[in-house]
Amino acid sequence: MKYFLPLDVSLASAYLKATMSFKDPPTLQQLAGRSLLKDEALTISALPNLPVQLFPPLFKDAFTSRQRKILSLMVAAWPFPLLPMGALSGIDHLETLKTVLDGLDLLMSQKDRPRYVSLR
């Protein structure tokens, strides 16, 4: 004797299989970063107080979404001695790369640069 599942159960099972096969949902940190980047003025005002661990993922998201003003100011406020642009070299954004260089110019023109700033 064969048993048949009701249609709604089999559809739910197919839906669960499909959704479970996709990548994990974004973390709270990723969602906060995306939300912050949606408001340029808020992002710029938050940069001086931004936790250091948020800089790399926020920088990458700003780079891939081509938010040039935020990128330029993030480079100027970069808290690490190394800015790993090689990790982003596969992304074809010539204008965005120029923006990063503008941020480096801004950093070099600052008179009160933090002592630890010597980007490589």
Alpha helices in 4-93 (DSSP H): 7-20, 28-37, 40-46, 55-64, 68-76
pLDDT in tens, 21-71: 567 888 998 899 999 999 999 999 999 999 998 998 998 888 888 898 998
Question: How much is the pLDDT for 40?
Answer: 93
More confident residue, 11 or 62: 62
- Contact residues for 76 (Cβ-Cβ < 8 A; gap 6+): 103, 106, 107, 110
Calculate the CA dihedral of residues 10, 13, 19, 24 and round it to 10 degrees: 180
CB neighbour list of residue 29: distance below 8 Å, 6 or more residues apart:
54, 57
Residue 114 lies in a domain: no
Residue 10 lies in a domain: no
105 in any annotated domain: yes
Instruction: Count how many domains the chain has.
Output: 1
Record the pTM: 0.61
Q: Which domain covers residue 53, as residue numbers?
A: 28-109
- Residue 11 belongs to a domain: no
**119 within a domain of the structure (yes/no):** no
